Structure 1
Amino acid sequence: MKAIVSFLEEPSAKEMLQGLLPRFLPCGVAVRYVTFQGKQDLEKNLEKRLKGWREPDSAFVVMRDQDSGDCRVIKEGLAKLCRQAGKEHALVRIACRELESFYLGDLAAVEKGLDVGGIGRQQQKRKFRSPDQLGSPSGELEKLTKNRYQKIAGSRAIGPHLSLEGNCSRSFNVLVSGIRAIVSQE
């Protein structure tokens, strides 16, 4: 594999992955990002963009937020689009509920990335031990950081600090292990 191509719902996911992926991908694996303007844009254009991808030896990752939808239904819908495009081995991952769940699962990374003291020690609070269950992770993150968190800049700042081990967000851990599995297959 020469490249991992990430098809993402929003620019903030790209910013997070740009800080995260270089820390564990082997040298020589290029990363490409195809960013959409929301989940409807992703779902409308994913099949066409996958079919049109011409760079050989590419592995594909598709990621979007669950929001209020059914995770299994969303994942199956995206997997179906990948199959229709002839990319049945694409890795489809859903951020349960929102990308911000990944950040709430590693409050030490939020503290470092946004330079907001004292947040990391709140990880043991019940609601932050299972951030994928929160109804509005972005709202929680804004409250926790006293509005210092902004989607794109915050994702850029936090991504490089996210721990690859021990994040309390199950959906983050599933994403990382899926990408590691793609890389190890080569």
Structure 2
Amino acid sequence: MYTKLKQLIAATLSVFLLGTMSPTTAFAADHTSIKPTQNDSILLNTNNSEVGIELYNSEPVTIAKYQTASAWQSGRFYLKSDNSTLGEFKTVGEFTYDGTICNVTNCKNSVWNVADGWQVKNSASEKQVSPTFAKAVGVFELYKEGLFGNKLSSSATITVSCNQNGKTNREFNGDEATE
């Protein structure tokens, strides 16, 4: 009985491994046809064959009042095979400044429009780099939900910064968009 059970498990694992080792070129999609979903958006090459990241370029970016500034950046994770959205995300940084110093007062992340079978985890942090430079940092991690636990598929980092004169800057995975 024990030997038959071992044989059954071995046969099941063999079939499973053969199924997952089959060539995937037949499933490859033409990614050149994917277009940004918004005007002036940027599609980033993530080196992930399945998941891409789109960075939204929306105006206005900076809202400045007397000695306060707020700037934001948003984007989405998408499935390269059909351009469907897997999750959208946004980081808002809020700052105070007076011409001599700058302080980060708040960092808020939001996540919405997450597709079934996927999960977006996020964390927000505030970094006072120097008396004249502050950052609000949002980190977003896209997970594919699975039977044996969730698997990290992609991640994105948004950094919104401000200087002592109220000038804001946005960085996204190293790509910059300055306002």
Q: Same fold (TM over 0.5)?
A: no
* Structure with the bigger percentage of strand: 2
| TM-score in terms of structure 2 length | 0.28
